[in-house]
Structure 1
Amino acid sequence: MADLWHLIGGICITNLGEKRHLFQFFHEVDIHRVLAGTPWFFNNRLLILQRIPNGEHPAPLALNFTEFWIQVHELPPRLMTETMAK
């Protein structure tokens, strides 16, 4: 992922267990670029990224939400509404 992200300040990745990893960035620009570029996938798996507030331990954070785009082909115009999208 570090090669894909083209980071300025580098990264430290720590395995926290239970399919969780801590990504520690060393430059604020890198954090903003990675979070703005979501969704990210690795080995066909969606990465759910969340910024950790200072002083908090990452293990108890609930990682159950992320935004991503989907594309629907041949949808009739009458169904192209915000309600249908939700």
Structure 2
Amino acid sequence: MENLWHPVKGVQIRDLGEKRFLFQFFHAMNMDRVLKGSPWTFNNHLLVLHKLQ
């Protein structure tokens, strides 16, 4: 996903198990662009994105 999104300051992706991943963006602009650019898919699976507070 990082290669697709090209975040300016990078993104850290952690596998949380049970088909869940945590995407940590290091610049708010990148996170906003990804959230507004959805829907996203990976290997023909829909990514459901939610911004954590």
Question: Shorter-chain-normalised TM-score: which range?
Answer: over 0.9
Percent sequence identity over aligned pairs = 55
Q: Of the two, which has the highest radius of gyration?
A: 1
Q: What root-mean-square deviation, in Å, do the aligned CA atoms of Structure 1 and Structure 2 show? A: 0.5
Residues matched between the structures, number: 53
SS of alignment partner, residue 51 of structure 1 = coil
Q: Which runs of 5+ in 1 are unaligned?
A: 54-86
Moved runs in structure 1, 4+ residues, more than 6 A? Answer: none
TM-score, structure 1 normalization: 0.60
SS of alignment partner, residue 16 of structure 1 = strand
TM-score, structure 2 normalization: 0.96
- Larger % of strand: which? 2
Q: Which runs of 5+ in 2 are unaligned?
A: none
